[in-house]
Amino acid sequence: MEKILEVNNLQVSFDTYAGEVKAVRGVSFHLNKGETLAIVGESGSGKSVTSKSLMKLIPNPPGRIVNGEILFEGKDLVHYSEKQMQKIRGSEISMIFQDPMTSLNPTMTIGKQIMESIIKHQNVSKTEARRKGIELLEMVGIPQAENRFSSYPHQFSGGMRQRVVIAMAISCNPKILIADEPTTALDVTIQAQILELLKDLQKKMGTSIIFITHDLGVVANIADRVAVMYAGKIVEIGKVDEIFYHPEHPYTWGLLGAMPNLNEDAGELITIPGSPPDLLNPPLGDAFADRNRYAMKIDYQMEPPMFKVSDTHYASTWLLHEKSPKIMLPDVLKKHRQTAPRGKQNEHLAKRKEQREKLLEIKNLKQYFTSGTNLIKAVDGIDFDIYKGETFGLVGESGCGKSTTGRTIIRLYHATDGEILYNNVNIHNKKSSLDTQKLNQKIQMIFQDPYSSLNPRQTVADIIAEGMDIHGLSINRKERLEKVYDLLETVGLNREHANRYPHEFSGGQRQRIGIARALAVDPEFIIADEPISALDVSIQAQVVNLLKRLQKEKGLTYLFIAHDLSMVKYISDRIGVMYKGRIVELAESNELYQNPLHPYTKSLLSAIPLPDPETEKTRKRIKFDEKLIWNDEGEEPVLREVKPEHWVSCTEQEYNDFKNYFDVI
């Protein structure tokens, strides 16, 4: 294999007022011609900084490459001048960024933006560049490329914009394409399309791809080789099968264990305790030692070298040293090798069915918004019940109305039509403020973004106790503080944290504060609106485990709103799938994943990337054509129960077909 890029001992630092932050601490890897190397890691692991350094796109000051070599076709880019780099950027190495909503200039037509680099690097006329631009747009799958050439970015959807960004990046046939979390901001079905497009383009053009991501499912789908980064270093690197089936580094074990498996009803997710080290003062020995349950004395004293596992597989952990004890791969990780579905939860659910009582009933709920003269039907007539003590998952892609549903239930919006019964009482016609206040206490919310949902000017104690103050739940200061300490400990923080401010905490810790705030008023029902989507994988698992534990201890009922289907499947008892303001399918979570009936559910499920290279290689994505079900002619599909507890939006004819299908089985 020919190496196109070789990085040796790359070190990148940022000079801040507090001191030098060593973001990348000696990274070495190579990239072969035509392969895809995935760099995985959590936020702050240095994966993005590494990739930007390859193109010298690190803003300087404050960032600088301290040491190391970046050999591109044998030439060291570290010593290239800005002028020389401009020739490389966009023509030899190009980049795709994370958020297609912000990575295109809003005031310039996409055509001009694509032509820009063609004109810059290929020395062609404007008409020629235009012809090439249209060709590129067709290549990345933008319909009516010629007409859309002079459209502005805001006239495209997120997925289409990312295609435009890709068209821009490949416009000069680059030898290396760096994709920095290119699908993180997209819905799963769009993500699947973009991944297919990248693979397709790679096949056609033979480009080498460096793919940065935190999503192991995506890695299993696209990568030939994988590098796992932690605290500015590569801790394990190898072929995709080696990393997924024979991981050697305990951090890799943790990452893999933190992902719920769709075919398994595991108990608790494996978590990696704690959070990543501060790179202002990186620890002396192995940076992962503090979070490593197998840490040895040497881990705190010396950095482990890269141990060779096979010709292609290296890992940096003292566990591989010949003198260290042999540790068996944790059991939970073995699940990634087996795919046989099981169904043990059903009996346990059936038993509960007899005694369960409805906590929340939603009947024909509608929530419309007007914007100018347009009527937006965010939620368009949905019905479902939530039973006491269960977790009801609501999934769907962005814009399907799932968050609006949550907000309408908690009465942040005034429902356009329909009823919401809480303990058999309609809560949307409540006039008296006393009743309203009581309800506010019983229903609480956890928000998506732990950074913007906490007031930065309030101490943690005040944030948590505010609800108690409003509802008059604490009699005096001492009691109030005691309760805050209690809550902090319940969510896994310390009492010392009470007097600090939100910016002193990491994302995962902030989300814990958000949970403590919701719990402070002893609620019965919690609406969690994408509570983990802003967090890293290992932190996600911590928060999900915490939510599960609290549910058990306090008998809480959850409405769990999310777009991450594997996590929803893991936490929910029953799941409702929303599409364009309506529920198209509703069933127990296992039933839904094993027997999806609605074409939209099928396509959604088929698009989730799983952290298992074997299944990813054979995956067949089911494409969803909305014309199949949303035509205006004929009968309007209605939610019908085709099997006990399994509801699907279908027509009379389809209903009978489903019935027959189940009778045959």
Partner 1 sequence: MGRYIFGRIGYMLITFLVIATFTFFLMQTLPGSPFNDERLSESQKERLYERYGLDEPAPIQYVKYMTNIFKGDFGVSFQYDGRAVTDIIGERIGASAVLGAQSLLFGCIIGIILGIIAAIKHNTAIDYMAMLIAVIGLSVPNFVFAGLLQYWVGVKLQWLPVAFWEGFEYSILPTIALSVFVIATIARFMRTEMLEVLGQDYIVTAKAKGLNQFAIVMKHGLRNAAIPIITILGPMTVSLLTGTLVIEKIFSVPGLGEQFVKSIMTNDFPVIMGVTLFYSILFIGVVLIVDILYGVIDPRIRLSGGTK
Whichever of 114 and 550 has its CB closer to partner 1, that residue is 114
Bridge partners for 369 per DSSP: 376
265: tokens are 């009803």
Asked if the peptide bond before residue 153 counts as cis, ω within 30 degrees of 0, the response is no
Residue given tokens 């080290």 in the structure block = 277
Number of H helices, E strands in the chain: 23, 24
Whichever of 178 and 610 has its CB closer to partner 1, that residue is 178
Interface residue list for partner 1 (CB under 8 A): 55, 57, 83, 85-91, 94-95, 97, 99, 102-108, 116-117, 120-121, 152, 154, 165, 168-169, 373-374
CB of 56 to partner 1, least distance (A): 10
Hey, is 312 helix, strand or coil? coil
Q: How far is CA 464 from CA 158, 484, 499, 557, in A?
A: 36, 7, 11, 20
Element (H, E) at 553: helix 537-554
Query: What per-residue string of b and e applies to 62-72 under the rule 16 or more CB within 10 Å gives b?
Result: ebebeebebbb
Whichever of 103 and 542 has its CB closer to partner 1, that residue is 103
DSSP 621: P
Q: Give the Cα separation of 18 and 598 in Å (integer).
A: 55
CB of 68 to partner 1, least distance (A): 21
Amino acid, res. 3? K
CB of 97 to partner 1, least distance (A): 6
CB of 655 to partner 1, least distance (A): 38
The answer to whether 137 and 164 are in contact (CB under 8 A) is yes
Whichever of 377 and 500 has its CB closer to partner 1, that residue is 377
Whichever of 87 and 342 has its CB closer to partner 1, that residue is 87
CB of 299 to partner 1, least distance (A): 37
Whichever of 83 and 620 has its CB closer to partner 1, that residue is 83
Q: Give the Cα separation of 68 and 233 in Å (integer).
A: 13
CB atoms within 10 A of CB 131: 15
The answer to whether 226 and 215 are in contact (CB under 8 A) is no
609: tokens are 């990337």
Whichever of 179 and 216 has its CB closer to partner 1, that residue is 179
CB of 114 to partner 1, least distance (A): 10
Q: Give the Cα separation of 602 and 611 in Å (integer).
A: 19
CB of 86 to partner 1, least distance (A): 5
Whichever of 94 and 590 has its CB closer to partner 1, that residue is 94
Hey, is 54 helix, strand or coil? helix
CB of 135 to partner 1, least distance (A): 18
CB atoms within 10 A of CB 178: 26
CB of 109 to partner 1, least distance (A): 8
Q: Give the Cα separation of 12 and 211 in Å (integer).
A: 19
Angle at 6 between CA 203 and CA 15, to 5 degrees: 115
Residue given tokens 């890695």 in the structure block = 219
Whichever of 105 and 436 has its CB closer to partner 1, that residue is 105
CB of 152 to partner 1, least distance (A): 4
Element (H, E) at 5: strand 3-16
Whichever of 94 and 405 has its CB closer to partner 1, that residue is 94
Whichever of 91 and 590 has its CB closer to partner 1, that residue is 91
Rg of the chain over Cα atoms, rounded to whole angstroms, equals 26
CB of 100 to partner 1, least distance (A): 9
